[in-house]
Structure 1
Amino acid sequence: MELVPIGIFHTSYKTKDEAPRQGRGSEDIAYIEVFEKYIDGLKDIEEAKYLIILYWAHEAKRDVLVTKTPFSDVPKGVFACRSPNRPNPILLDVAELVDRKGNVLVVKGIDAIDSSPVLDIKPFYAEIDVPKEILFSSVVRKESET
């Protein structure tokens, strides 16, 4: 298996400590430079208000399987949380598309650090990407957890 970056993030976050824990609340502007070879893939991207960005956490620890989260003192498996530290550090942000300038996407709602390789970009559509039972509910966790 081989993953090839299609672009790179340009953000103001130079270290993991500077990046927000969750990007969706961030108003900071970030830029995704899509490599020349993939520019045609941006055709009609402006039709989407939000984008799903998959990227590689190039500074993540890949040997971590159990970790603490900022939301609990109880350690969790990395597949049960959103820690960037995981065997294959593929991370996901749902970002607002602010503008497109040629091969550069101007976005906000990002928690990627500068120079993170971008693996893929997809439009986000709530009616497709949000499970039906959650779409009209404020309850996201299993009922047994409440």
Structure 2
Amino acid sequence: MISLDPIGHVRSTLTRREHAPKQGHEGAPVARLVFEPRVILALANVQRGDELLVLTWLHEADRDTLQVHPRDDPRLPLTGVFSTRSQDRPNPIGVHRVRVTSIVGPAELEIADLEAFDGTPVLDIKTVLDRLRER
């Protein structure tokens, strides 16, 4: 058995699936990640301008869906969810590439390009690595 304990949640003006862009870079409003006090030390060195991968639990997803029309376009053929970015999937883990626009406080980051809804649980964040710097 796997047990996940969210480290925070999303605060956003997006409250309904039909109002959210398909991808964050397609017009998502500025949002905030609000973290649990127990993980504040893990935010050390996160800075304005950083690019992060935010892992979320897409709590409004349909976990029984195995095929979708990509981008909800019925003109496109049904496709297995594992070859799409659909939130409807057996384990609805969202992966979002975002940019930190502001450090709001010790437990809150303002971010750009997040299409997740208000209240979405945050499971983890990871920095985006620049492959050129890794070498």
Q: Does residue 95 of structure 1 match 2:84?
A: no
Separation in 1, partners of 2:47, 2:20? 26
1:18 corresponds in structure 2 to: 19
1:33 corresponds in structure 2 to: 34
C-alpha contact (below 8 Å) 1:95/1:108 kept by paired residues? yes
Separation in 2, partners of 1:32, 1:49? 14
Separation in 2, partners of 1:38, 1:54? 15
What secondary structure, in the 3-state scheme, does the structure 1 residue paired with 2:99 have?
strand
Separation in 2, partners of 1:114, 1:47? 22
Q: Does residue 69 of structure 1 match 2:70?
A: yes
Cα deviations by residue, 1:101-125 (Å, 9 ceiling, x for unpaired): 2210100101100100000011112
Cα deviations by residue, 1:117-139 (Å, 9 ceiling, x for unpaired): 000011112317xxxxxxxxxxx
Cα deviations by residue, 1:87-111 (Å, 9 ceiling, x for unpaired): 0000111001101122101001011
Structure 1: 5+ residue runs without aligned partners?
129-146
Cα deviations by residue, 1:6-27 (Å, 9 ceiling, x for unpaired): 0000001111111111112335
Equivalent residues, number = 128
Cα deviations by residue, 1:52-107 (Å, 9 ceiling, x for unpaired): 00001100000001111126611110101110000000011100110112210100
C-alpha contact (below 8 Å) 2:24/2:114 kept by paired residues? yes
Aligned pairs (5 A) from 1:51-66 = 51-66=52-67
Aligned pairs (5 A) from 1:125-136 = 125-127=129-131
C-alpha contact (below 8 Å) 1:19/1:112 kept by paired residues? yes
Structure 2: 5+ residue runs without aligned partners?
none
CA RMSD of aligned residues (A): 1.6
1:84 corresponds in structure 2 to: 87
Separation in 2, partners of 1:84, 1:110? 13
C-alpha contact (below 8 Å) 1:9/1:32 kept by paired residues? yes
1:118 corresponds in structure 2 to: 122
C-alpha contact (below 8 Å) 1:24/1:93 kept by paired residues? no
